[in-house]
Structure 1
Amino acid sequence: MSTAPAALRTRWGGQRALAVLSIVLANVLGGVSYPAQKAALAGLPPATVTLLRNVVALVALAGCVRMRRVAPVAWTRAESLRVVVLGAFAFALPMWLGIVGVERASASNASILILLEPVTIVAIAWLVLGERIGALKLASLSLGLFGALAIVLEGSSLGDLMAGEHFTGNALLALHGILWGCYTPLAKPLCERHDPFDLCLRATAVGVVALIPAALAEAGRIETGPALAPALAWTVALGLAVSFGGTLLWLAALRHIPATNVAGFVFLQPLAGVLVGIGLLGERLSGAALVGAALIVAGVGFDVALSSARKDSDQSADGFT
C-alpha cells in the first residue's frame, strides 16, 4: 500500500499550519498599525508617512531578494499588468486613504469600515476566482463579523458613520476597506506562481511610484521640530514591521490557503487593537469586547477546521483515483 497520500497530508498539514500562523501574525500587525500611524502623524503628513514606510520596505525587500538569489519565474504581460493594478490601486491607494481617513474621522468608525475588506474579499473570490462559499463558510464569517462589530460598536453606532462632521473621512475609510478587499483576490493567482519576495518587491515598487505625487503635494506641511524624530522612528517601524513583514507574511500564507479563508482572519484586526489598548494604554476589557473576542476566535477556529477537513477529504479522494 502506498504511503504517498499520507505523506501528502502530512506535508499539507505542516504548510497549512505555517500559513495560518503567518496570516494570524499579519493581521495582528495590521491591527496594531493604526496606533503607530497616529503616532507618526504627530510629526509628518499622511502621504509622506505612507511613502516613507514603503521606501523602507522596498529597501528591505531588495536586500532580501538579492541575498536569497532565488531564480524568478518569468512574468507574463498579463501578470505584470496585474502587479501594477495591485501595487497602485489595491496597496498604495488604500494605505494612503486609510491614514487620511483616520485624520478626518473617529478611530472607532475606522474599525467599523475596515470590515468592508473581508466582505469584498469573499465577493470577489466567489465571482472572479470561483472559490466555494457554502453555508458553513458563511456561518464562520458571520461569527467573526458579529464579534468584530461587538468590539468596535461599543464606542459608536452605525448611525455615526453618516454624521456630517465625519462624512468625508468615513467615505474615504469605506473606499479604503473596499480597495484593501481587492488586494487578496488580485494577489492570489500571482502568489501561486511567483516567489512572495519577488511579488512583494514589484508591488511595493509600483506603490512607491504611485505615492510620490501625493507626498510632493504636501511637502510644505513638513516642519522640523521635536515631533519629527519620533514620527520618523514610527514610520521606519511601520515600514519594517507592517509594509515589509506583514505583507510578506500575507502573501506567503496566500500561497496555501484560499482567499475566502483569509477574509475570516481580517476580523482579528479589531481584536488586536483592543489588546494593544489593554496592554499599552491600561484600558479595561469590557463585557462586549470579551464577547466579541470569543466570537472572533470561534469564527476563525471554525473556519480553519472546516478548511482542513475539506482539504483532507479532497486529498483522500485524489489518493484513491
Structure 2
Amino acid sequence: MSRRTWALIAALMVSVIYGVSFTIAKDVMPFYIKPYGFILLRVIGATILFWIVSFFGPKEKIQLNDFPRIVAAAFFGVALNMLTFFKGLSYTSPISAAVIMVTTPMIVLILSAIIIREKIKFKKVLGILLGLFGTAVLILYGKTIDNASNASLGNLLVFINAVSYAFYLIVVKKLMDKYNAFTFVKWIYTFGLLMVLPFGWSEYQEIHWTVITVSVLWKIGFVVLFTTFFTYLLNLVSMRELKPTSVAVFIYLQPLFATIFAVSSGKDELTLVKVISAGLIFFGVYLVTVKKNGPRMH
C-alpha cells in the first residue's frame, strides 16, 4: 500500500472519530464538566501522551527560529481551536457544529490566497459566498432540540474554531516538511497547555469526580485518547503526503458521520434549516474545490 493511500486512510479515520466525538463530547458537557475544564483535562492528557511517545521517536533538535511557528500552531491548533469549539458545542447541537466545520476548506483557500497571493477565480468566489451564506443561515436560524441552550452563539463559536483550524493547517505544514511529527507535536501541546490553563483551571477545579459515572469516564477517555491524541497523529501522517486543502476536504465527511451517530442515538434531529444550510455549504465547497479536467484519484 502506498504512502499516499495510508495518508488518505488516516484522513478518513480522523473524520470518523471527529464525527462521533461531536455527540460524545456533548454528553459530557456542560452537565458533568464545563467546556474549559474539559479542554484543560483533554490537553493535559494529550501532552503527557505526546511526551511519552516522543521518547520512542527520532532524536531531532528544533531550531530556535522555528519556535515562533510552533507557538503559532499551538495557539491556532490547540488553544483557540479547542476553546471556541468546546464552548460552542456546549451551546449548540452536534449536527450544526459538524456542518459549520465544513467551511474550513473554503477558509483554507481564502487564507492561502492571501498569504501566497494566489488569484481566486469567480467560481470559487461564488462558492465561498454561498458557503458563508449557508453558515450565516445556520448561525442565525439554526434552532434545535433541547440540548442546545444558545444555538446562535454556539454556531458562531464553532465557525471561529473552523477559521482557527484553517490557520493551523497552513502554519503547521512547514514544520511537517522540516521535522518528524513526534519532534514538534509535544511542544505544540506544551505551549497549548500553558495557553488554556488560565481559562480552564477554575472549571477544572469544579469537577465533582464522585458524580461522574463509568460511562462518562469512558467518554472523557475517548475524547482525550482518540479525539485528541490519535487524531493529531493521524492528521500529521496525512499532512506529510497531502496538501492542507486535501486534508481539509475530508472535513466534508464529518457531518455525515456526526448526523448518523447523533440521530441514531437520539441526541439531535434533522431540521429544514439544517438541510438547507448544509446544501448551501456543500455546494459552495464543491465550487471551491472542484478541479476542471483535473486528474482523477485512484
Q: Same fold (TM over 0.5)?
A: yes
**Alignment counterpart, residue 39 of structure 1, candidates 27, 30, 40:** 27
Residues 132 and 307 (structure 1), Cα distance of their counterparts in 2 relative to 1, 3 Å cut: farther
- How far apart are residue 265 of structure 1 and its match? 1.2
Alpha-carbon distance in 1 for matches of 2:151, 2:183: 39
Q: How many residues align?
A: 283
Alpha-carbon distance in 2 for matches of 1:220, 1:64: 28
Alpha-carbon distance in 2 for matches of 1:130, 1:174: 24
Alpha-carbon distance in 2 for matches of 1:247, 1:75: 19
**Alignment counterpart, residue 217 of structure 1, candidates 156, 179, 202:** 202
Match for residue 5 of structure 1?
none
**Alignment counterpart, residue 101 of structure 1, candidates 88, 96, 101:** 88
Tell me if structure 1 keeps the 8 A contact 2:62–2:183.
no
Match for residue 67 of structure 1?
56
Matched residue SS, 1:241: helix
- How far apart are residue 248 of structure 1 and its match? 0.8
Alignment map for 1:178-197 (pairs within 5 Å): 178-197=163-182
Matched, 1:26 2:14: yes
Matched residue SS, 1:192: helix
Tell me if structure 2 keeps the 8 A contact 1:122–1:259.
no
Alignment map for 1:291-302 (pairs within 5 Å): none
Match for residue 268 of structure 1?
253
Alpha-carbon distance in 2 for matches of 1:272, 1:222: 30
Residues 259 and 285 (structure 1), Cα distance of their counterparts in 2 relative to 1, 3 Å cut: same
Structure whose alpha-carbon radius of gyration is higher: 1
Alpha-carbon distance in 1 for matches of 2:262, 2:150: 26
Q: Letter of the aligned partner of 2:6 in structure 1?
A: L
Alpha-carbon distance in 1 for matches of 2:234, 2:32: 29
Unaligned runs of 5+ in 1: 1-12, 313-321
Match for residue 109 of structure 2?
122
Residues 157 and 86 (structure 1), Cα distance of their counterparts in 2 relative to 1, 3 Å cut: closer
Tell me if structure 2 keeps the 8 A contact 1:90–1:183.
yes
Alignment map for 1:160-179 (pairs within 5 Å): 160=141, 166-179=151-164
Match for residue 204 of structure 1?
189
Alpha-carbon distance in 1 for matches of 2:229, 2:291: 25
Residues 306 and 272 (structure 1), Cα distance of their counterparts in 2 relative to 1, 3 Å cut: farther
- How far apart are residue 132 of structure 1 and its match? 8.9
Q: Taking structure 1 as the reference length, what is the TM-score of the superposition? A: 0.72
Residues 259 and 129 (structure 1), Cα distance of their counterparts in 2 relative to 1, 3 Å cut: farther
**Alignment counterpart, residue 49 of structure 1, candidates 35, 38, 46:** 38
- How far apart are residue 106 of structure 1 and its match? 3.5
Tell me if structure 2 keeps the 8 A contact 1:121–1:260.
yes
Match for residue 6 of structure 1?
none
Q: Letter of the aligned partner of 1:174 in structure 2?
A: F
Structure 1 consecutive aligned stretches of length 4 or more whose deviation exceeds 4 Å = 129-136, 156-159, 161-165, 278-286, 302-310
Residues 226 and 217 (structure 1), Cα distance of their counterparts in 2 relative to 1, 3 Å cut: closer
- How far apart are residue 270 of structure 1 and its match? 0.6
Identity %: 19
Q: Letter of the aligned partner of 2:219 in structure 1?
A: W
Alpha-carbon distance in 2 for matches of 1:79, 1:18: 28
- How far apart are residue 249 of structure 1 and its match? 0.7
Q: Letter of the aligned partner of 1:178 in structure 2?
A: V
Match for residue 78 of structure 1?
65
Tell me if structure 2 keeps the 8 A contact 1:43–1:228.
no
Alpha-carbon distance in 1 for matches of 2:166, 2:294: 20
Residues 38 and 162 (structure 1), Cα distance of their counterparts in 2 relative to 1, 3 Å cut: closer
Alpha-carbon distance in 2 for matches of 1:308, 1:115: 23
Matched residue SS, 1:203: helix
Tell me if structure 1 keeps the 8 A contact 2:74–2:189.
yes
Q: Letter of the aligned partner of 1:56 in structure 2?
A: G
